[in-house]
């Protein structure tokens, strides 16, 4: 993939990612207006249980398909690509249908004994029907990423997002559900419908792509199951363990808040504010990173397969620098303007307060997105999964030990500890494997100073502006971005100049 094509695809994927994040936040804002913070808490809990089923059905599949198709293309064996993807399709379909049947059979038990709300069972059953569609879409995404057609997957995702949102609005308008359980059921129907249509749209695009990227002559691929077990199964098992712990974490938070002294309604509201509103907002700007991060997997995998160590080192260094500098900028935005963001999107100052508190975590969360993709491209997915599992296990243990004594303050402290712990392990492994050195002054210290300076200067410049809501946060972000860029880019050029000068002297 050339630099120009990589950049253009990244920009296009970023546009799609922004669209997905904006519509998702708008959708959540719509839901929160209909069902309140307590309803959002139940909605998030249902999805936390469903996430385990998704993990078992899809985790590692996209990466396995990408790696095997990339290897086939690099070895000039395009005639085997159809066979590789077809075998992956069958593998995924078998696994996802099995998980879907299990979820259908145990939905009543899960709702009553895990969620503590028997009325959530229909929501779990309707979500189970979407698992086979979701797993097939995951296979196609892996293929599209390997053949440099990531935009094709984005089109089908866009269809899913639009139809899910539109269907939910229609269902709420037509049926006007009166309970939070009925409202969650309507939202899950919309989600499953979106998944089914997304699969149909993606499959049509996939068939056309095969004609362009593979010859008419077909050849049976060998070692596909071995590849699946080498790449996908370890990822699936590790992700399933982590997902199980994540589900346990989400279920424990309201329970431990109850032990702290809050009522069930207050516990669900606090949980909904943090996990259902603040955290999605915190991850919203990462749309600019996730798109490029997904493209890094086949790019680094290709260079790694060809033993181009210098290219791997260059890609890793640039990606880590960019992730840190962008994450620090977003951290400054949330720290200074968090209250305005909460008010603009959710009409909630409490959600904005969480944004301000959690703002220092943003650089680590965004860095993790990029580091995870780089490790997968370097065949380090198993180590990445081990670090994530350790992080989740520690978080569950700490929740059990401390939340009953300090409530949400304890959980926020736990989030800080686990994010730092995960970042230390993942980044240390990446720097060792890629043989890269990262200068903290250039990547973190000075960008943090510039971000706080730009954000506070923006606050001072716009204090007399009579705007509110989304127009205000957009203006704040634009002005702050301009000031941050004006401070950071000359500093980076100066650093590059001194580095080049030192290399010239050594030469």
- SS3 string of 318-333? HHHHHHHHHHHHHHHH
Neighbours of 445 (CB within 10 A): 12
Estimate to the nearest angstrom the gap between the alpha carbon of 73 and the chain centroid.
Answer: 28
Q: In the 8-state DSSP scheme, what is residue 285? A: G
Per-residue model confidence (pLDDT) at position 26: 76
Whether residue 364 is contained in a domain is answered as yes
Whether residue 89 is contained in a domain is answered as yes
**Angle value at C-alpha 287, between 282 and 289, nearest 5 degrees:** 105
Per-residue model confidence (pLDDT) at position 440: 79
Per-residue model confidence (pLDDT) at position 417: 92
- Tokens 């599949």 -> residue: 61
| Rounded Cα distance, 87 and 64, in Å | 12
Residue pair 167/185 in contact by the 8 Å Cβ criterion:
no
Per-residue model confidence (pLDDT) at position 497: 58
Please classify residue 33 by burial: count the beta carbons closer than 10 Å to its beta carbon, then call 0-12 exposed, 13-18 middle and 19+ buried.
Answer: exposed
Whether residue 153 is contained in a domain is answered as yes
Nearest CA to 183 out of 348, 32, 50, 45 is that of 32
Please classify residue 266 by burial: count the beta carbons closer than 10 Å to its beta carbon, then call 0-12 exposed, 13-18 middle and 19+ buried.
Answer: middle
User: What Å distances lie between residue 478 and 67, 96, 455, 472, CA to CA?
Assistant: 38, 44, 11, 10
Whether residue 264 is contained in a domain is answered as yes
Nearest CA to 189 out of 213, 206, 166, 212 is that of 166
Q: For the residues of 160-172, what is the DSSP string, one character each?
A: HHHHHHHHHHHHH
Nearest CA to 320 out of 296, 350, 348 is that of 296
Per-residue model confidence (pLDDT) at position 58: 77
Nearest CA to 302 out of 36, 33, 58, 2 is that of 2
Neighbours of 14 (CB within 10 A): 16
| Rounded Cα distance, 116 and 99, in Å | 22
Residue pair 422/391 in contact by the 8 Å Cβ criterion:
yes
Q: What's the domain range around 126?
A: 3-438
With a CB cutoff of 8 Å and minimum separation 6, the contacts of 121 are 107, 108, 110, 111, 112
Q: In the 8-state DSSP scheme, what is residue 115? A: S
Q: What sections of 147-232 are H helices per DSSP?
A: 150-175, 180-213, 224-227
SS3 call for 60: coil
| Rounded Cα distance, 279 and 338, in Å | 12
Nearest CA to 230 out of 68, 69, 92, 426 is that of 68
| Rounded Cα distance, 203 and 188, in Å | 23
Whether residue 482 is contained in a domain is answered as no
Helix, strand, coil % over all residues of the chain, rounded to 5: 90, 0, 10
Whether residue 446 is contained in a domain is answered as no
With a CB cutoff of 8 Å and minimum separation 6, the contacts of 212 are none
> What does the block give as tokens for 263?
């009522």
Residue pair 324/450 in contact by the 8 Å Cβ criterion:
no
Per-residue model confidence (pLDDT) at position 265: 78
Per-residue model confidence (pLDDT) at position 501: 55
| Rounded Cα distance, 29 and 36, in Å | 10
Whether residue 128 is contained in a domain is answered as yes
Nearest CA to 215 out of 80, 21, 391 is that of 80
| Rounded Cα distance, 293 and 488, in Å | 22
One digit per residue, the tens of pLDDT, for the chain of length 507 reads: 556 666 666 666 667 666 766 777 777 777 777 777 677 777 778 877 787 788 777 777 777 888 788 878 877 777 888 888 888 888 888 888 998 999 888 888 888 887 777 888 888 898 889 888 988 888 888 888 788 776 776 777 777 778 888 888 888 887 777 778 888 888 888 888 888 888 888 888 888 888 887 777 777 777 777 777 667 666 666 666 766 777 788 788 888 888 888 887 788 778 778 877 788 888 888 777 776 777 777 778 777 777 778 888 888 888 888 889 999 999 999 999 988 888 887 777 888 888 899 999 999 989 988 888 888 778 777 777 788 888 888 888 999 999 889 888 899 999 899 889 988 888 888 888 888 887 778 888 889 999 999 999 999 888 888 777 888 888 999 999 999 999 988 888 877 655 555 555 454
SS3 call for 463: coil
Per-residue model confidence (pLDDT) at position 4: 63
Give 490-496's long-range contacts (Cβ < 8 A, gap of 24+): 491/442, 491/446, 491/450, 492/442, 495/442
| Rounded Cα distance, 438 and 313, in Å | 11
Residue pair 426/375 in contact by the 8 Å Cβ criterion:
yes
| Rounded Cα distance, 20 and 287, in Å | 9
With a CB cutoff of 8 Å and minimum separation 6, the contacts of 319 are 292, 293, 296, 370, 374
| Rounded Cα distance, 191 and 127, in Å | 8
Q: What is the number of structural domains in the chain? A: 1
Whether residue 472 is contained in a domain is answered as no
Per-residue model confidence (pLDDT) at position 46: 83
Please classify residue 24 by burial: count the beta carbons closer than 10 Å to its beta carbon, then call 0-12 exposed, 13-18 middle and 19+ buried.
Answer: middle
Per-residue model confidence (pLDDT) at position 258: 85
């Amino acid at each position: 993939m050339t630099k120009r094509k990589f950049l253009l695809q990244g920009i296009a994927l970023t546009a799609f990612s922004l669209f997905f994040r904006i519509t998702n936040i708008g959708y959540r804002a719509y839901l929160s207006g209909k069902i309140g913070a307590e309803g959002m808490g139940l909605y998030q809990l249902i999805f936390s249980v469903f996430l385990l089923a998704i993990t078992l059905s899809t985790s590692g599949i996209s990466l396995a398909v990408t790696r095997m198709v990339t290897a086939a293309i690099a070895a000039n064996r395009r005639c085997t690509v159809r066979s590789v993807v077809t075998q992956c399709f069958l593998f995924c379909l078998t696994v996802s249908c099995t998980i879907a049947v299990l979820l259908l059979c145990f939905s009543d038990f899960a709702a009553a004994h895990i969620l503590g709300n028997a009325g959530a069972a229909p929501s779990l059953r309707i979500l189970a029907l979407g698992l086979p569609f979701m797993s097939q879409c995951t296979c196609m995404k892996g293929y599209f990423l390997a053949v440099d057609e990531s935009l094709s997957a984005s089109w089908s995702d866009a269809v899913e997002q639009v139809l899910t949102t539109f269907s939910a609005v229609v269902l709420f308008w037509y049926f006007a559900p009166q309970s939070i359980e009925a409202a969650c059921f309507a939202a899950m129907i919309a989600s499953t419908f979106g998944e089914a249509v997304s699969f149909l749209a993606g499959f049509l695009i996939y068939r056309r792509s095969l004609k362009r990227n593979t010859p008419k002559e077909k050849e049976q691929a060998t070692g596909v199951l071995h590849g699946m077990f080498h790449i996908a199964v370890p990822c699936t098992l590790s992700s399933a363990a982590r997902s199980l712990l994540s589900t346990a974490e989400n279920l424990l938070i309201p329970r431990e808040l109850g032990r702290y002294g809050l009522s069930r309604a207050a516990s669900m509201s606090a949980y909904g504010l943090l996990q259902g509103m603040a955290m999605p907002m915190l991850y919203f700007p990462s749309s600019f990173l996730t798109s490029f991060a997904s493209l890094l997997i086949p790019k680094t995998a290709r260079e790694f397969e060809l033993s181009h160590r210098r290219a791997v080192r260059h890609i890793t260094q640039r990606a880590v620098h960019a992730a840190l500098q962008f994450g620090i900028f977003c951290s400054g935005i949330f720290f200074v303007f968090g209250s305005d963001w909460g008010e603009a999107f959710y009409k909630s100052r409490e959600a904005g307060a969480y944004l301000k508190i959690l703002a220092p975590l943003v650089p680590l969360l965004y860095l993790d997105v990029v580091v995870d993709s780089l490790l997968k491209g370097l065949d380090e997915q198993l180590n990445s999964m081990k670090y994530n599992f350790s992080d989740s296990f520690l978080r569950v243990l700490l929740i059990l030990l401390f939340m009953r004594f300090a409530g949400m303050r304890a959980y926020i402290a736990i989030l800080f500890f686990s994010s730092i712990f995960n970042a230390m392990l993942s980044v240390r492994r990446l720097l060792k494997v890629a043989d890269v050195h990262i200068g903290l002054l250039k990547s973190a210290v000075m960008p943090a100073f510039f971000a706080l300076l730009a954000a506070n200067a923006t606050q001072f410049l716009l204090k007399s502006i009579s705007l509110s809501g989304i127009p205000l946060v957009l203006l704040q972000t634009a002005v702050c971005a301009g000031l941050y860029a004006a401070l950071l880019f000359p500093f980076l050029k100066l650093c590059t100049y001194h580095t080049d000068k030192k290399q010239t002297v050594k030469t």
